[in-house]
Amino acid sequence: MTAVKVVIADDHSIWRSGLRADLGENFTVVGEAADAKEALAVIEATDPDLVLSDLHMPEGGGIALVKAVDGKVPVVMLTVSEAESDLLDAIAAGALGYLVKSTEAGELREQLWKASKGEPVFSASLAALVLTEFRRLHKAEIPGEALSEREREVLQYVARGHTYKEIGETLFISAKTVENHVRNILNKLQLNRKQELIRYAIDHGID
């Protein structure tokens, strides 16, 4: 098993040290930064597999960093903020995940391992709040070419953060079939990345 190369961006050095210790042997910290501008330079120099970023830090914070990275490397927000607006802004900017800093170490490692494989991860309690709010505000039909019933099912599970394997086991289909469904959904909705599906599902009340 190859260790995941990680860059940690946070303006609190004590937190960075604690996180580095919590990550364990499956993760290797290849760089650290105290603000978004420095983090971008470190990312370019180290070519990490995953970036763990605080939301609020100097030089624009995690949002500015995610926008600057522009999908070249997955970014997971690690923050104390449980505000729905912060979560939505992070997803809209392109973050692959959003986890609160109070997440237990074992769960954090599990979630970050999933993120390193391209799976969206976020704190379940926050996701539930956001989905509830956007169901209320943004109920709408899917525009354009309609999704099939199975595609809607798959989209619902993707929006909840389930892996392809988990979705396949729930729907009694293979992970490869799930992946094909996701590809078809992206094509129909004219989206490019899986995290865009999460945002789309939230905006359209698909849970």
CA torsion angle 133 138 139 141 (round to 10): -140
Using the 8-state DSSP alphabet, how is residue 120 labeled? -
Instruction: Please list, in sequence order, all residues whose beta carbon lies within 8 angstroms of the beta carbon of residue 46, skipping any fewer than 6 positions away.
Output: 5, 7, 30, 31
Same domain, residue pair 28 and 73: yes
Residue 182 sits at φ, ψ, to 5 deg, of: -60, -40
Same domain, residue pair 97 and 139: no
pLDDT for residue 144 = 40
CB 113 within 8 A of CB 25: no
Total count of domains within the chain: 2
* Listed range (8-12, 30-34, 99-103, 127-131) with the worst mean pLDDT: 127-131
Dihedral class, residue 147 (left if φ above 0, else alpha if ψ from -120 to 50, else beta): beta
Residue 138 sits at φ, ψ, to 5 deg, of: -130, 35
Which range of residues forms the domain containing residue 83?
A: 4-126
**Which CATH number is 152's domain given?**
1.10.10.10
Q: Which amino acid is at 8?
A: I
Same domain, residue pair 116 and 197: no
Residue 6, strand partner residues: 29, 50
Domain boundary among 126, 156, 181: 126
CB atoms within 10 A of CB 24: 14
| pLDDT tens readout for residues 111-138 | 999 898 888 888 877 767 656 655 555 4
Q: How far apart are CA 85 and CA 155, in angstroms?
A: 22
Same domain, residue pair 8 and 83: yes
Same domain, residue pair 74 and 170: no
| pLDDT tens readout for residues 137-183 | 544 444 545 678 888 889 888 888 888 999 999 999 999 999 988 88
Same domain, residue pair 139 and 122: no
Domain boundary among 126, 150, 184: 126
Average pLDDT, the chain: 84
**Measured CA distances, 59 to 36, 65, 73, 185 (Å):** 5, 9, 19, 36
**Measured CA distances, 4 to 28, 62, 101, 127 (Å):** 6, 20, 20, 26
Domain boundary among 126, 155, 182: 126
Same domain, residue pair 102 and 17: yes
